[in-house]
Structure formats: C-alpha cells, structure tokens
C-alpha cells in the first residue's frame, strides 16, 4: 500500500481531533458535557478499568447480531426473490421494522425478555434484518438472464443455480447492506445494553456514567464504540477487496 | 431418413406469442454431425426456433425430437451445448472456472469421458489466460471462452444463437475459422443462428432460409464446398456464388407475402 493512501486518513482524523480539542479548550464548554480527546485518551489508558472487556462484549454482541441478521435476511431475501406472493406479504412487515424507531420499544423488549444479553441481541438483530433481506432479494434477482439460461440448458438444479450464479452475484448488494447495518447494529446494541443494565457492555457503562454525571467514562464509551465501528468497516472493506475482485466497484481506475 | 439417424427432427412446429404468429409449420431434420444454419433477418423467429429446440421455449403446435427424446430429456442428459448471443460468463470466475461451470452442475449426467478443457483453450488461443477474469479479456476472447464452455460438455448437439453478432468484422472472420476447427474434431451437430451471409456460406453444410413474421422455411441450400475449409475459401468464386444464392433466397423470403411465388 502506498504511504500516501495511509497518511491521508490519519491526517484527517488528527485534524478532526485537533479541532475538537481546540473547541473544548477555547469554547468554554462545561466539563460535564464534553471533554477534549486528550483527557479521554489519558483516562482510558491510565485511570479506567473494565473498558477492554466492555468493548469486547459490545463488539461481540454487535457482530453476533449482524451474522444472525444476515442469515435471516438471506432466507427472507431468497423466499422473496422466488415468490412475488411471499414478497408482497413480507415487504410491509420488513418496512415496518425498518421505519419504526427502535429506541422507542427497546426498553419494552428488555421488560419482556429480561435483562442480560438476550434483549440486546434481539433488538440489534431485528433492526438489521430488513437491510439484508432487501439486499439479498435485489441481488439474487439481478442475475444475468443469459447466464441463468446457460445453466438451464444443462438442467442445473435451482440449488446449483443459487449457489453458483445467484448468490455470488448478490454479494455486492450484500456488502452495501452490511456497511449500513454495522452502524445500526452497534447503535442498537449500545442503547439496549443501557436499558438492560445487567450486561457489562459499553452501553451499560455509558448509562451508569450518564446517571452519575461522569463525562469522562461516558465519552470513553463513545470513543470505544467509534473504534469498534471503524474496525468493522475496515474489515468489510478488506473482505470486499478480496471477494469482489471481479466487480467494477473494486477495480481502480488508473489516474 | 429414419428417426434414429436424425440428431434433431422438427415436425410442424408453430409458435404464437399472443396475437403474433412467430413461427409457422416448420419441419426440419438435422443430421448427426451436420453443421446446420438458420439464416434470416431479425424478426424471422430464428432465435425462437433455436430456443424451442433447446426446450427453453414451448412450441404452440408441432413436435420436437432431439436425440430420440424431448428437448427437456436432452437437457437432463446434457446432450445440448448452448452458446448464447452474449458470452454470459460469470464475472467472478476465472476463464478456466467458467469453462468448467457446466460440468460442475447436474454431475450425474456428465459423460464418462471428459473433455480436456486446457487443450481446447489452447486451440482457441487462450493458453496462459486460464486465471484471467472475464473483464480482463476482449469481447472476442470472451466469446471464445463461451464456445469452449459449450464444447467442454462433449455433447452431440450444439445450439448457437448468433454468437458472433456483437463482434467486429475482423474478429468475426477469425471466430468462424476457430469454430470450424473446434467443431470438426468434436463430431457434434451444430444448429447455428445467424443473419450473416458470409458466416452461413463459410460454416454450413446446409442453410435453411427463413421468412419473417411468421417464420417459415423458404428454402434449404446445400453448401458443397469441401472440408476442411480454410479462410482462403472466402476469396473464391465458389464462395461468392454461394453468398449470392443465399442473398437471392433471403430477398425472396423477405418479400411481402403476396409476391412470393411458391
């Protein structure tokens, strides 16, 4: 990788933190509201305890929710791609899930399912399913008709067609959905953890800090969540570059 | 000719799309190992006819027998090699993997002897491109991969739907020579759909000229040029005579119904 392509994002992030630091110090922001990044980093690395574990907990739950949502979404997408009738039945439900603000019902889910990790996984999975379902439906349906006919000419089974033509062809739209779902999953996990306090994730730590008016731990949870999101998106980009080597989106134009 | 010695036999085949009669009462026999061309202008239903032979489309009337069975049977037994208009390669598969695609599905119907695909690729000038992805190849190279994919089945019948239509004239010229080379050692019967007089005259044993809307067989021409045919054939008076005969036949076939004398 070129040094230039590594340097640019680092400089961008450094500039952002610098501006933040400057605004907080010059702008007279109350310390209970916002802390400069230098203090957050010092707190995270020298004073705090439990953040690595909390970050791991939140990251693992967000990843689990994403994977479960991917499996369920693929199943829904395959059924919708195969049957208009099923599509018409499932579409309004998926849209309803997509447009209903999950923050409004996540507390009720905690009351219903109970504390701990279960409600966290439930809400995060639920909110991510529609994106994967719609992406798989579109992706599976958009297979090249001529390729499908070549397979029909040797009587390939629908499973063989699915595995060899439709599913690989759906990968680009699934990756797009995954990029969108990463943020959604993290947010749902963080917020629901805050409601189900028995969990040790970042959301629970943040909620406790908020209740105690402790800005440093609160902002540390924000910081750690952002790192999780960045790791997730970078991983998706790497996977994309490997798996979608053939796709137009991954071919660099020579400038 | 008895039913056993025909690779493909069509009897009274008609096809109607709603109000439109696309094909009308077509009866044809394609012999084993024969290069048979369907020549016609666009709208003559020649692609539809090819799709009916492949069982990708059902005739409204008439009977289709392929290798002694129905087209669906032929597909089940992998007796048909289909070459579509576009190469229809899978963009994520390498050249080698695209060529092997059809032997990887419906495996139980694979023939006992396998075709050496790397030898076929080398024959069409693609040695060294086995690991290339389709987007790294030119249009002509992609279509060569599609040809090899069909020949890799070792099927007794190959159905080709204007496979060279989207290529430039120079590439088309090379492709018809390559195709004959592959075909001659395969022993397969080919049904080749085209609107190119030169392709029909260079490639075929017999050419069926189709009328338009509805498609009917106007005439069947024997192309007597000896085989193996070489590119120089296209500069001979014999070749020009064949092209002229096909053009005249096509002109009569395309004339309004009332002026056709039968």
DSSP codes, A3-16: HHHHHHHHHHHHHH
Query: A239-248, B27-36, B192-201, B241-250: lowest mean pLDDT where?
Result: A239-248
Nearest to A111 by CA among A192, A24, A188, A220: A192
Nearest to A233 by CA among A199, A186, A172: A186
CA B28 to CA A109: how far, in whole Å? 70
The answer to whether residue B90 neighbours chain A at the CB level (below 8 Å) is: yes
A244 neighbourhood in chain B, CB within 8 Å:
92
Q: Please give, rounded to a whole number of angstroms, the shortest distance from the CA of B224 to a CA of chain A.
A: 32
Please check whether residue B228 is in contact with residue B182, taking contact to mean a CB–CB distance below 8 angstroms: no
B75 neighbourhood in chain A, CB within 8 Å:
152-155
CB contact under 8 A, B56 and A153: yes
Res B257 pLDDT > 70:
no
B105 neighbourhood in chain A, CB within 8 Å:
151, 154, 156-157, 160-161, 164
Pseudo-torsion of CA A191, A196, A197, A203, nearest 10°? -20
Q: Mean per-residue pLDDT for B215-232?
A: 92
Please check whether residue A91 is in contact with residue A80, taking contact to mean a CB–CB distance below 8 angstroms: yes
How, if at all, do strands B157-161 and B189-194 pair? parallel
Smallest CA–CA distance from A165 into chain B, residue: B90
Q: Which residues are registered as beta bridge partners of B158?
A: B81, B190
In order of B123, B128, B151, B189, the CA distances from B119 in angstroms are 6, 11, 11, 21
Pseudo-torsion of CA A99, A101, A106, A112, nearest 10°? -50
CB contact under 8 A, B101 and A153: no
Nearest to B36 by CA among B168, B181, B172, B205: B205
> What percent of chain B stands above pLDDT 90?
81
What's the sign of the alpha-carbon dihedral A193, A197, A198, A203? Answer: positive
Q: Which helix (H) or strand (E) holds B175?
A: helix B169-186
CB contact under 8 A, B88 and A147: yes
Smallest CA–CA distance from A171 into chain B, residue: B92
Res B250 pLDDT > 50:
yes
Nearest to A166 by CA among A64, A254, A238, A81: A81
Structure tokens at B187: 């022993």
Structure tokens at B1: 């000719």
Query: Residue A32: how many CB atoms within 10 A of its CB?
Result: 11
Q: From the list A149, A152, A246, which residue is nearest B91 (CB)? A: A246
Structure tokens at B142: 């992609």
Q: From the list B75, B84, B92, which residue is nearest A154 (CB)? A: B75
Residue A162 DSSP code: I
In order of A100, A131, B26, B133, B195, the CA distances from B192 in angstroms are 57, 45, 16, 27, 10
Smallest CA–CA distance from A246 into chain B, residue: B92
Q: From the list A144, A150, A161, which residue is nearest B82 (CB)? A: A150
Please check whether residue A131 is in contact with residue A181, taking contact to mean a CB–CB distance below 8 angstroms: yes
Instruction: Choose the mutation target among A139, A152, A154, A168 for the interface with B, i.e. most B CBs under 10 Å.
Output: A154
pLDDT value of residue A35: 87
Please check whether residue A204 is in contact with residue A120, taking contact to mean a CB–CB distance below 8 angstroms: no
**Chain centre to alpha carbon of residue B38:** 8
Res B29 pLDDT > 80:
yes
The answer to whether residue B85 neighbours chain A at the CB level (below 8 Å) is: yes
Q: What angle do CA B232, B235, B237 make, to 5 degrees?
A: 125
Nearest to B92 by CA among A176, A236, A158, A171: A171
Instruction: Choose the mutation target among A149, A153, A253 for the interface with B, i.e. most B CBs under 10 Å.
Output: A153
**Tell me: the pLDDT tens digits for A190-217?**
999 998 876 689 999 999 999 888 889 9
Residue A30 DSSP code: -
Q: Which residues are registered as beta bridge partners of B217?
A: B210
Q: How many CB pairs under 8 A join A and B?
A: 72
Q: What angle do CA A238, A242, A246 make, to 5 degrees?
A: 130
Q: What is the pLDDT along chain A (255 residues), one digit of tens a residue?
A: 567 777 888 899 899 999 999 998 888 888 888 888 999 999 998 888 889 999 999 999 999 999 999 999 999 999 999 999 999 999 999 999 999 999 999 989 988 998 889 999 999 999 999 999 999 999 999 999 999 999 999 999 999 999 999 999 999 999 999 999 999 999 999 999 998 876 689 999 999 999 888 889 999 999 999 999 999 999 999 999 889 988 888 876 544
**Tell me: the pLDDT tens digits for B92-142?**
999 999 999 999 999 888 887 888 899 999 999 999 999 999 999 999 999
């Amino acid at each position: 990788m070129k040094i230039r392509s590594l340097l640019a994002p680092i400089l961008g992030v450094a500039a952002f933190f610098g501006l933040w630091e400057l605004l907080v110090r010059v702008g007279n922001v109350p310390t209970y509201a916002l802390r400069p990044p230098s203090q957050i980093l010092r707190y995270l690395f020298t004073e705090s305890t439990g953040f690595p574990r909390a970050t791991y907990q939140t990251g693992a739950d967000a990843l689990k929710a994403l994977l479960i949502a991917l499996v369920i979404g693929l199943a829904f997408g395959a059924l919708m791609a195969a049957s208009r009738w099923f599509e018409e039945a499932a579409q309004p439900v998926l849209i309803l899930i997509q447009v209903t603000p999950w923050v409004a019902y996540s507390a009720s889910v905690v009351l219903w399912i109970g504390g701990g990790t279960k409600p966290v996984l439930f809400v995060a999975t639920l909110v991510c399913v529609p994106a994967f379902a719609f992406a798989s439906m579109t992706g599976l349906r958009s297979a090249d008709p001529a390729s499908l006919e070549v397979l029909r000419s040797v009587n390939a089974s629908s499973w063989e067609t699915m595995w060899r033509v439709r599913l690989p062809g759906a990968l680009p739209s699934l990756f797009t959905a995954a990029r969108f779902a990463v943020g959604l999953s993290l947010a749902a996990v963080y917020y629901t953890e805050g409601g189900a306090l028995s969990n040790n994730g970042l959301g629970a730590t943040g909620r406790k800090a908020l209740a105690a008016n402790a800005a440093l731990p609160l902002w540390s949870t924000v910081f750690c969540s952002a790192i999780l999101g960045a790791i997730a998106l970078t991983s998706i980009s790497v996977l994309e570059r490997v798996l979608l080597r053939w796709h137009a989106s991954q071919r660099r134009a020579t400038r | 000719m008895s039913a056993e010695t025909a690779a493909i036999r069509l009897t009274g085949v008609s096809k109607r799309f709603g109000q439109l009669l696309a094909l009308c009462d077509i009866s044809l026999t394609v012999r084993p190992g024969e290069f048979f061309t369907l020549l016609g202008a666009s709208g003559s239903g020649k692609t539809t006819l090819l799709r009916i032979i492949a069982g990708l489309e059902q005739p409204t009337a008439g009977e289709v027998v392929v290798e002694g069975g129905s087209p669906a049977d032929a597909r089940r037994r992998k007796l048909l090699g289909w070459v579509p208009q576009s190469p229809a390669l899978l963009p994520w598969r390498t050249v080698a993997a695209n060529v092997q695609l059809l032997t990887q599905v419906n495996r139980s119907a694979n023939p006992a002897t396998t075709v050496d695909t790397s030898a076929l690729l080398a024959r069409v000038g693609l040695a060294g491109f086995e690991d290339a992805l389709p987007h790294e190849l030119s249009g002509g190279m992609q279509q060569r991969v599609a040809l090899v994919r069909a020949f890799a089945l070792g099927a007794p019948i190959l159905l080709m739907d204007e496979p060279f239509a989207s290529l430039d004239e120079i590439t088309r010229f090379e492709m018809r020579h390559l195709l004959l080379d592959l075909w001659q050692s395969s022993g397969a019967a080919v049904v080749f759909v085209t609107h190119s007089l030169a392709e029909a005259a260079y490639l075929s044993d017999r050419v069926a000229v189709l009328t338009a809307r509805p498609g009917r067989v106007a005439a069947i021409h024997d192309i007597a040029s000896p085989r193996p045919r070489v590119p120089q054939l296209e500069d001979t008076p014999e070749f020009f005579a064949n092209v002229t005969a096909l053009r005249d036949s096509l002109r009569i076939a395309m004339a309004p119904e009332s002026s056709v004398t039968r």
